[in-house]
Amino acid sequence: MARGMSKTPASPKGKPAPKSQPRKATAKPEGAAPEGDRIAKVLSRAGVASRREAERMIAEGRVSVNGKKIDSPALNVTAKDRISIDGQPLPEAEAPRMWLYYKPIGLVTSNSDEKGRTTIFDELPEDMPRVMTVGRLDLNSEGLLLLTNDGGIKRKLELPATGWLRRYRVRINGRPKDEDFAPLRKGLVIEGERFQPMTVSLDRQQGANAWLTVGLREGKNREIRRAMEDIGFSVNRLLRVSYGPFQLGNLKPGEVEELRARVVRDQLGLAEEEEIPATRPTRNRGGKPAGKPMGKPAGKPMGKPAGKPVGKQAAQPSGKQGNPGRTAGKAPPARGARPDQRGGGKRPAGKNPRR
């Protein structure tokens, strides 16, 4: 080999390069929330039942997930899971909807009554979907009751943290003075139960009775009646005229009116894609087609929940027991609202012994 030529340099000696290792799946941090939602929440969102009722259905063995019956609500499910109730597939969740309902005196706010009394659900129009009540009114109370097909909405509006003001026209027996209601404005404790402060205004005296306007932000059982009894007055009529921004308006006992999609979305902060589809023509309990569709064009959204309920018409119940709205004055509706805002046509509830 010629002296000027050099050999090809040899490969450097050393350790071979390490082989690439496959990536390990990132472990979920301890305590991370499981995927999906609780089964009772999913059933409630689908309009099958309230969360409490859904938990009862699960305990009764009526609910199956992926072909296996479950007996505990402590289970999260996702869209991939197959859920069935009594052997039938779970219907897809409908878009959230809400209705205003004038509950008449004499109806029970319950799905069923152990004493066999008529419930509000017995008197609702037949073509109504399955709905739940937001809160309740007792047997002898009347006025605005919100209905929804969405368990999430029901739960949200019933939570004390939501803080929506509920206004009532209340008739009591006696001749009270304004200072008599000071304990209610400060907050009461009755039999160990704390009642939050109420707003109370003395509107007028009508013979042996007095009309009041009462506002509160919680929904304890018979709260107003119990509070009035505690200061020495008995309630002989109680009418709810507003719940947050929603007003009783011109509804008559037993009538139902659906809210426009935009109103529900704006007031509850729902995403736009959850907008309620256009409503269909309705029929009354007799099965005949109704003349008007449920949704009339509406005005601007209601804005923030505020303001007093509508005056005369909103506070006037039917009957010959006196006019609770005569001296209440015409209060403005919820801020930003217009009278034509509720888009649903009024719908009679059919036969109603109290109308």
Rounded Cα distance between 160 and 216, Å, is 11
Which residues lie closer than 8 Å to 242 by C-beta, 6 or more apart? 144, 165, 166, 167, 248, 308, 309, 310, 314, 334
Going by their DSSP bridges, the two strands 132-134 and 209-216 should be labelled as unpaired
- H helices of the chain, where? 39-45, 51-59, 120-123, 151-158, 182-186, 223-230, 261-268, 312-315
What angle, rounded to 10 degrees, do the helices at 51-59 and 151-158 form?
120
138: annotated active-site residue: yes
3-class state of residue 200 by DSSP: strand
Q: What is the DSSP letter of 108?
A: B
Q: Which of 37, 113, 138, 266 is catalytic?
A: 138
Contact 342, 334 (CB under 8 A): no
Element (H, E) at 146: strand 142-148
Cα 298 to chain center, whole Å? 21
Element (H, E) at 292: strand 289-293
Question: One-letter amino acid identity for 51?
Answer: R
Rounded Cα distance between 354 and 299, Å, is 33
Q: Which residues are catalytic?
A: 138
